[in-house]
Amino acid sequence: MSNPYEDAYQLSRDDPAAFWAAAAQDIDWIKPWDKVLDDTNKPFYRWFAGAQCNTCYNALDRHVERGRGEQAALIYDSPVTGSQRTYSYAALLDEVARFAGVLKAQGVSKGDRVIIYMPMVPEAAIAMLACARLGAIHSVVFGGFAANELAVRIDDAEPKVIVSATCGIEVNRVIPYLPLLNTAIELASHKPAACVILGRPELAAELMPGRDVDWASAMAEAVPADCVAVAATDPLYILYTSGTTGQPKGVVRDNGGHMVALKWSMKNIYDADPGDVYWAASDVGWVVGHSYIVYAPLLHGCTTLLYEGKPVGTPDAGAFWRVIAEHKVKILFTAPTAFRAIKREDPSGALLKDYDLSTFKLLFLAGERTDPDTLHWAEDKLQVPVIDHWWQTESGWPIASNCMGLHVFDVRAGSPSKAVPGWDVRVLDEACNELPTGEIGAISVKLPMPPSSLLTLWNADERYQQAYLEEYPGYYKTADAGYMDDDGYLYIMARTDDIINVAGHRLSTGGMEEVLAGHPDVAECAVIGVADPLKGQVPFGFLILNAGVTRTEEDIVREVVQRVRDQIGPVAAFKQAVVVDRLPKTRSGKILRATMQKIADRETYKMPATIDDPAILDEIEVALQSVGYGKNVSS
């Protein structure tokens, strides 16, 4: 007997046009589409060809018109500044329309690009939605990004205007943005016509005459702008993700397909209803912030929460519980690394008792593989379903998940469950043949991909094909490795470059990390492959211990080595690990394993643009040297 998930999944594969045409009924269109899926220019598929729409209208105007104007649309909670603000749908619409007027007064119109270089403040979301209102294409760059990296993005996107702020705030330090912005513009060949600068109380700044526009002054004089009709296939935004050549890849997302998929996902994946408080604890600089702080919750009529803080340290490991209790959050979506940080600081979950979490119903984790130990800890402490789900910047929304609004599957630790309707996921070998269940291979998506997946790379169609489509003809290459079990559950084990070859055996670093994380004293871990003259590569582990652990590091390392031997086998050749205080990560929480591997192998590496704290790499090098690895110089 089938269930709603199986029915939806089968229809999405058998007749994707019918499936997505039905989903598109939840969006307001200025003009309906001529064709649901335009496949006349493969591999550049387009959804809802011929349709006209406006994303901002669907996120704000229509809710106000239909009686939701007084409902909270966005809650801003900032423990780093000690401030909070709540915007109703009507108030948010007013702010967005006026800021669209500010941009329009600076010459921004349909098709122009606007770079948004902002901290986690409501004005960042307002600027994004204002661009969508005008049909301009926004490109959000994580606030505080290095000047040279911002300059590269300025030259690639060629923005007419840049929107920024005087500073960002990281726990107890203020990060000035204008020196970074000014240096980036000096370095860039392309010069924006204007910069709109939000003044924050924490840092005053002198604006550059003739270029800079004060946010508050401009808003006071602004004439609100109306929504502009755009083609469903027109770009909504460009989001840059790291490229292997050092040139960032500008992922292009459209308007129509993006809205349809995100609106569908809110109920069918996240089981959110209009009016629910939905919190994606991420940053607007990342895809999660685009999809699930700004667009999807507002398209669905939810209340979205924008949080300027950390899971620990603002002020303690109870920060998330305080936000959930105070704002009556129903659904939280965050990264596993956030929960590992909470678990490390408060292993027993003692701080939970201080908060009423009765409104909290679901926890979703993504961004890195959720190890079973973290999954079970969260399940035990929170007593709600904990859903590991998997997606990417390029996909724009989940590829695999337990679809809580369709049919609840059993949670299998280590798996993000099954492919979401719309995604035809296959596991391939190097010759592009499908592998039997249980065998590790390249996880790939059969073309065409569903709505809201990347259309191409900005001004780089050939790079798009080379990066994603050439290696497995007829498929999108996710660059993730894993396998599928007999019931269709996916297991994402590692990036394809994190599969190590130990004496001819292809082994997943993710599988070893799962074993290490199961040790009761280990809060977080990472495994890399290091060069070995005999075996080609051997695994090496990094361990972060729980707060309060008093046992010797030597004992713990000996025990984790034995655990890998017992649970994976001698073939893994796992013999070395080292205890460290922290791991190098991107600002979104991804561990920089490839960089650590280069340090271990004495290879020159490029400082990752997205690294949270470059000083951590020095600590990793010292730790590796203590056991005989690594001595090199970054470029």
Neighbours of 596 (CB within 10 A): 26
Average pLDDT over residues 456-476: 96
Neighbours of 602 (CB within 10 A): 14
Q: Please, which residues have CB within 8 angstroms of residue 569's CB and are 6 or more apart in sequence? A: none
Banded pLDDT at 630 (limits 50, 70, 90): low
Please report, rounded to a whole number, the percentage of residues in the chain having pLDDT higher than 90: 78
Structure confidence at residue 246 (pLDDT): 58
Tens-digit pLDDT profile for residues 554-590? 999 999 999 998 888 777 889 999 999 999 988 767 7
Average pLDDT over residues 221-234: 98
Banded pLDDT at 633 (limits 50, 70, 90): very low
Alpha-carbon distance of 166 to 161, in angstroms, equals 16
Tens-digit pLDDT profile for residues 404-426? 999 999 999 989 999 999 999 99
Structure confidence at residue 367 (pLDDT): 83
Banded pLDDT at 503 (limits 50, 70, 90): low
CA distances from 138 to 131, 262, 367 (A): 6, 18, 23
Nearest to 368 by CA among 283, 483, 492: 492
Structure confidence at residue 266 (pLDDT): 98
Structure confidence at residue 565 (pLDDT): 84
Average pLDDT over residues 464-475: 96
Residue 268 has pLDDT above 80, yes or no: yes
Alpha-carbon distance of 366 to 300, in angstroms, equals 21
Structure confidence at residue 372 (pLDDT): 87
Average pLDDT over residues 88-106: 98
Average pLDDT over residues 108-133: 98
Residue 635 has pLDDT above 60, yes or no: no
Domain boundaries, the chain: 4-309+389-482, 503-625
Structure confidence at residue 423 (pLDDT): 98
Residue 244 has pLDDT above 60, yes or no: no
As a whole number of Å, the end-to-end CA separation of the chain is 59
Average pLDDT over residues 29-48: 97
Which structure tokens are listed for 54?
Answer: 């406006």
DSSP 295: I
Which structure tokens are listed for 469?
Answer: 């489509």
* Among 55-59, 88-92, 198-202, 628-632, the least confident range: 628-632
Tens-digit pLDDT profile for residues 308-334? 999 999 999 999 999 999 999 999 999
Average pLDDT over residues 273-293: 96
According to the CATH classification, is domain 503-625 in 3.30.300.30? Answer: yes
Average pLDDT over residues 435-456: 96
Residue 92 has pLDDT above 90, yes or no: yes
Alpha-carbon distance of 361 to 328, in angstroms, equals 10
Residue 501 has pLDDT above 80, yes or no: no
User: Is the distance from CB of 574 to CB of 500 less than 8 angstroms?
Assistant: no
Q: Three-state DSSP class for 357?
A: coil
Tens-digit pLDDT profile for residues 518-539? 999 999 999 999 988 777 788 9
Average pLDDT over residues 5-15: 96
Q: What is the average pLDDT value for the chain, to the nearest integer? A: 93
Residue 631 has pLDDT above 80, yes or no: no
Structure confidence at residue 505 (pLDDT): 66
Alpha-carbon distance of 218 to 385, in angstroms, equals 46
* Among 183-197, 238-252, 472-486, the least confident range: 238-252
Tens-digit pLDDT profile for residues 327-372? 999 999 999 889 988 998 999 999 999 999 999 999 999 987 788 8
Q: Is the dihedral of CA 215, 216, 217, 218 positive or negative?
A: positive
Which structure tokens are listed for 94?
Answer: 């007013």
Tokens 């064709």 map to which residue? 35
According to the CATH classification, is domain 4-309+389-482 in 3.40.50.300? Answer: no
Average pLDDT over residues 132-152: 92
What b/e string do you get for 27-58 counting C-beta neighbours within 10 Å, with b at 16 or more? bebeeebeebbbeeeebebbbbbbbbbbbbbb
User: Is the distance from CB of 586 to CB of 608 less than 8 angstroms?
Assistant: yes
Nearest to 278 by CA among 211, 208, 363: 363
DSSP 24: G
Residue 493 has pLDDT above 50, yes or no: yes
